[in-house]
Amino acid sequence: MTLASLELARMRVREKGVRMSISAVALEAGVTPPTIHNVYPDLAEKIRLEMGRGTRQQRDAKAAELKSFKRRNAELRVELEEAKADIAKLASLNETLRGENVQLRAQLDGKLTVLPGS
């Protein structure tokens, strides 16, 4: 298998209107996809570029996606800390109200007398 015959296979795939891929070119040329990847890496890159997924494009897209995820992760961490602070405040308020509730129930049951002026 020569580079020229692989280039011809690539053109035949394009002319057939088949979705361009390394697998499609390999099938058309009668070789395995790893042969194209390992023996003809420049051709593999041409095919990827034709597919709109060149190595550099893929790397840049992944880097942008990672940056976006990191930013979102930072936002969620801030949101989590705010939620934890809210929970702590609500727990404190809940305990205060629970104490008041116990005191008021005791007053209702006559077990506690409130002195005037207190």
Q: Note the pLDDT tens digit of each residue in 77-97.
A: 999 999 999 999 999 999 999
- The DSSP letter of residue 10 is H
Domain that holds residue 16: 3-53
The answer to whether residue 70 sits within a structural domain is: no
The answer to whether residue 33 sits within a structural domain is: yes
What's the number of domains the chain is made of? Answer: 1
Q: Structure pTM?
A: 0.47
- What's the CA gap between 85 and 12, in Å, rounded? 64
pLDDT band at 52 (very low <50, low <70, confident <90, very high): confident
The answer to whether residue 110 sits within a structural domain is: no
- What is the arithmetic mean of pLDDT over 1-28? 91
Show the beta-strand stretches assigned E in 1-118.
none
- Taking only the tens place, the pLDDT of each residue in 32-45 is 999 999 999 999 98
The answer to whether residue 71 sits within a structural domain is: no
The answer to whether residue 75 sits within a structural domain is: no
Whole-Å CA distances, 107 to 51, 55, 99: 79, 76, 13
The answer to whether residue 89 sits within a structural domain is: no
The answer to whether residue 30 sits within a structural domain is: yes
